[in-house]
Structure 1
Amino acid sequence: MPVIKILPHSEYCPEGAEIEAPAGTSICEALLDHDIEIEHACEMSCACTTCHVIVRQGYESLNEPDESEEDMLDRAWGLEPQSRLSCQAILAQKDVTIEIPKYSINHAKENH
């Protein structure tokens, strides 16, 4: 089972974390399943950028982003070449390291 290493984030994961999730799971689902309450305002339908993450290691092991994800990523705060929407980034067999950006474009947090 692949491991997701989450770099420290002051709000969602202050100490950082390492979690396991089955291959075929989205990064967003894995985080939520382990009580890391990343924003996901569109309920993981690829209609916003609140679940944006930067993949620091293991990017090549994830599924390829499709055109709709790439279009949405253009709106993300702090976009980098290794950015993904965590709701669309599907784990394979390799471990990944992610960083949750400090900000999102969401002006008001949803209560999920």
Structure 2
Amino acid sequence: MSPSTIVFQFQDGQPAQTHVGASGESVLDVALNNGIKLQHNCGGVCGCSTCHIYVEQGLDELPDISEKEEDFIDRAINPRINSRLACQCVLPNQGLEVVVLLPPQNFLGH
């Protein structure tokens, strides 16, 4: 199977970046492995809302949202129906394209 790709879009005007992710890697892992500075105050263990992202494409292919993740998203700035935590968006075993929008990160989060 082909690897998954993640397209990172930025609200601050940076050009989009596309990176390959392996099965079992989270969107946060792929971001950090490719020099994208995505907040993750809890270390990526679903303990805060600082890695909040918007999944613009591929949401249905990602693991279902847990109650814990949903609670933290409720604390994020400007949550939307397509909000997720990047640390919880783990790529499945199939090749797919996920498009995520990174909101401005000029806050500390919860």
TM-score above 0.5, yes or no = yes
Distance in 2, matches of 1:2 and 1:19, equals 9
**Which of 101, 106, 109 is residue 108 of structure 2 equivalent to?**
106
Contact 1:9 1:16 in 2 (8 A): no
Which structure has more RCO (C-alpha within 8 Å, separation ≥ 6)? 2
Q: Secondary structure at the match of 1:71?
A: helix
| Structure 2 residue runs without a partner (length 5+) | none
Give the AA of the match of 1:4: I
Contact 1:51 1:86 in 2 (8 A): yes
Residue equivalent to 2:22: 22
| Structure 1 residue runs without a partner (length 5+) | 108-112
Please say if 1:51 is aligned against 2:51: yes
Residue equivalent to 1:80: 80
**1:40, distance to aligned residue in structure 2 (A):** 0.4
**1:103, distance to aligned residue in structure 2 (A):** 4.0
- Flag the structure with higher strand content: 2
Q: Secondary structure at the match of 1:91?
A: coil
**Which of 74, 94, 97 is residue 95 of structure 1 equivalent to?**
97
Q: CA RMSD in A?
A: 1.6
- Flag the structure with higher helix content: 2
Structure 1 runs (4+) deviating above 4 angstroms are: none
Contact 2:6 2:20 in 1 (8 A): yes
Q: How many pairs are equivalent? A: 105
- Per the normalisation by structure 2, the TM-score is 0.88
Deviations 1:60-81 (A, max 9, x none): 0100111110111110111011
Percent identity, aligned pairs only? 30
Give the AA of the match of 1:58: G
Residue equivalent to 1:5: 7
